[in-house]
Amino acid sequence: MTAVDAGALGTVLAASAVTALAVMLVAFAFGTARGLHRYVDVAWGLAFAAVAAVSWALAAGHGDDARRTAVALATVVWGLRLALHIARRGRGHGEDPRYARMLARARGNPTLHALRTVYLLQGALVWLVSLPVQVAVLLPGPLGATGMLGLGVWAVGLAFEALGDHQLARFKADPAHRGRVMDRGLWSWTRHPNYFGDFLVWWGLYLTACATWQTALLTLVSPLVMSGLLIWGSGKRLLEAHMADRPGYADYRARTSGFFPRPPARDG
């Protein structure tokens, strides 16, 4: 592969895998001790931030310093914001219904089942999805037009996700809205502004690694996998199944885009 030192890339890939695994094992130990596996959702963002930090450190002397720092910092900011938001949202709550259902259906030891199907799987996904970050920190040239476009897409995605989360938190904090469906602000343009923001974040980070056709091809799996998770995997699909029977949700679904933002449909 041109532009990236193969030996340095191998070191970064291996260290990133160990880092993602270590974060998830710590989360597993903590979640098991507390009897709440929902803490893995906090570890998800922390693991991305940790992988980016380790990749940044190991890439010193190999990649362009400005690119290396910008890409790693962008990932850390996104990961820490997400982790902090999920931690605040879940404070004082019990087990996430998704994990409760999974453990109820588990055959054999439910704790080991959670380790295999939640923690280790998410650790592997962190490593795979963060490939553009691991590659981009090693690229020798400046960001260029494509890389700058990528950071712009990342910024829009981060803002979209953060604003959507903030709007939902304020809506749910009002007792008058208990049991109602959030259909205001960004939530009137898409049923999943937070997931759409994630989508933009990872397509943006992917663009920062597209310095050559080889690096573009190598890292394309990252945004494709993240898009699949958000739209058809554990994101939109599972959340909408959980919300399907809530009063007013069918009407909200009929007038609001399922993922990509668009003006809400007018009644009549």
Say what percent of the chain tops pLDDT 90. 62
Residues 7-24 have a mean pLDDT of 96
With cut-offs at 50, 70 and 90, classify the pLDDT of residue 85.
very high
Confidence band of 1 (pLDDT split at 50, 70, 90): very low
Q: What is the pLDDT of residue 267?
A: 56
Q: How many CB atoms lie within 10 A of CB 7?
A: 9
Give yes or no for a contact between 74 and 151, defined as CB atoms under 8 angstroms apart: yes
Query: Nearest-CA neighbor of 84 among 41, 122, 116?
Result: 41
Q: What's the chain's average pLDDT?
A: 90
Q: Which of 156-165, 181-190, 225-234, 241-250 has the largest mean confidence?
A: 156-165
152 lies in some domain: yes
Banded pLDDT at 235 (limits 50, 70, 90)? low
How many domains are contained in the chain?
Answer: 1
Residue 96 lies in a domain: yes
Does residue 262 sit within a domain? no
**AA letter at 85:** H
User: Domain limits at 250?
Assistant: 6-255
In the predicted model, is pLDDT for residue 240 greater than 90?
no
HSE of 64 in the Cβ direction (CA atoms, 13 Å)?
16
Instruction: Judge whether 260 lies within some domain.
Output: no
Residue 44 CB coordination number (10 Å): 20
- Give tens-digit pLDDT for 146-191: 999 999 999 999 999 999 999 999 998 888 888 888 889 999 999 9
From CA 110, how far away is CA 26, in angstroms rounded? 18
Please state, for a pLDDT cut of 70, what percent of the chain lies above it: 97
Q: What is the mean pLDDT of residues 230-251?
A: 78
* 266 lies in some domain: no
For residue 108, pLDDT beyond 70: yes
DSSP 186: G
Identify whether 264 is part of a domain: no
